[in-house]
Structure 1
């Protein structure tokens, strides 16, 4: 019995190693394919989800594939994260691991670009910039603290709080801005709606002369076109997420590889 248990454990270990090795080889092949498809300088990180891998490989149907590329330069931006989430992917294993052309058929895909706070700081000239989420309670509190009543009607999902340090009245001060995030095609617009000096949520924010307000509003107003989303996904949403500005959208019926007609960029 002891020998049988040991033999079974060894067999399980071998099967796991084979499954892991096959998955790694397939991920490497997809990575090289996506590097060419997305026009990247380096191979992106690829993860084929689901276990065991070989069960999916035999059928050629993969439930989901996640692709991530970091620190991508796009126009004025130097630190963009590009992500693609592919769902219901069809790719024969022989073609995927072979040396010849590869084609991936994707039923659904989500593409995202994440613009870092550092990139936004370079564009605005604000030091130590942070991109923070804001909720309905914070918007209502801003009104109570002297903000315009229209702040309460802002959709928190399309807004952000920007906090950074800049020169105000001859001194380096922390500035807190509530901004609306607008997406028109690929064009991103960050529109300040409330500007205060001091910590966010302070009970007595420092009042600023109108010329200073105007200068800060111009500084925190950002307009840019970050380029196409991965896989020519149509952008549908702009939001603050995980300390970044995230643009995302969806696409269906994609063909990637030798049968594809248009690269992502």
Structure 2
């Protein structure tokens, strides 16, 4: 009787071993697909990073090597479809010569969505890689802005969500410290302007000439901010003062993000 029970269990044990082997095989295949998926994504990321570097160079600008990340999983199905959910591009220390002034962007993060790129384009580098929408966030350093205003001792920073200025000024023979806030204006074309219209100086003589001199100083530091040409046809939409600098938000639609485009 025991022999019969033992004999009857063997097929189930053999079936269990086959099932375990099948599961292990599936896991191995899944692992290989994940590795292949990541390798393909790395190749695409390097290709796009090279294209971005070339585009920046053509604009007479400089930056650290761009970091590119292709989002969405699995990647291989996106390759076959020719459409990618998201491509993130991070650029650091972007600098460009604009009208003789060096304006720096410590960071520029670009988020491209619904990117169209055929397999042949990625393989040969010939053709367009087009993003349906592109959003960029950049930081303008306060040191760079202060250098643009070119006033000894002048400093800029964020105060209660606004752009604040402090500067020493000689008014009627007195060395005074001027403080105040700036209005930041963004035009329809994405031009950034700083307007200092309400400055004060403690201890300033209460005479019309002193006020006139202070107003003249305010106008002298009210400027248009010359940015390096932003990649991907980005147009500035909003500027917000933050502790680390001015945060610039820009966007564009239907944009080629490779050099061919």
Instruction: Kindly indicate whether residue 163 of structure 2 is the aligned counterpart of residue 161 of structure 1.
Output: yes
One of 60, 68, 86 as aligned partner of 1:46: 68
TM-score of the aligned structures, taking structure 1 as reference length: 0.67
One of 61, 65, 83 as aligned partner of 1:61: 83
**Residues 149-188 of structure 1: matches in 2 within 5 Å?**
160-164=162-166, 166=168, 169-170=174-175, 176-184=179-187, 185-188=189-192
Kept in 2: contact 1:129–1:163 (CA 8 A): yes
Counterpart for residue 7 of structure 2 = none
Counterpart for residue 148 of structure 2 = 123
TM-superposed CA distance for 1:106, in Å, is 1.7
- From the superposition, tell whether residues 177 and 29 of structure 1 become closer, same or farther in structure 2 (CA, over 3 Å): same
The unaligned stretches of length 5 or more in structure 2 are 1-16
The unaligned stretches of length 5 or more in structure 1 are 135-159, 198-205, 261-265
One of 84, 98, 110 as aligned partner of 1:84: 110
Counterpart for residue 103 of structure 1 = 128
Q: Which moved more, 1:5-14 or 1:105-114?
A: 5-14
Residue deviations 1:90-146 (CA, integer Å, cap 9, x gap): 1123431x2442420221222454321110121233455323552xxxxxxxxxxxx
Kept in 1: contact 2:169–2:175 (CA 8 A): yes
Kept in 2: contact 1:235–1:249 (CA 8 A): yes
Residue deviations 1:133-179 (CA, integer Å, cap 9, x gap): 52xxxxxxxxxxxxxxxxxxxxxxxxx232546467547x6x64221
Larger C-alpha radius of gyration, 1 or 2?
A: 2
- From the superposition, tell whether residues 227 and 78 of structure 1 become closer, same or farther in structure 2 (CA, over 3 Å): closer
- From the superposition, tell whether residues 181 and 215 of structure 1 become closer, same or farther in structure 2 (CA, over 3 Å): same
Q: How many residues align?
A: 224
Instruction: Kindly indicate whether residue 54 of structure 2 is the aligned counterpart of residue 36 of structure 1.
Output: yes
> Within 1, Cα distance between the matches of 2:233 and 2:259?
16
> Within 1, Cα distance between the matches of 2:156 and 2:235?
28
> Within 1, Cα distance between the matches of 2:117 and 2:194?
41
Kept in 2: contact 1:186–1:227 (CA 8 A): no
Counterpart for residue 12 of structure 2 = none
TM-superposed CA distance for 1:48, in Å, is 1.5
TM-superposed CA distance for 1:9, in Å, is 5.8
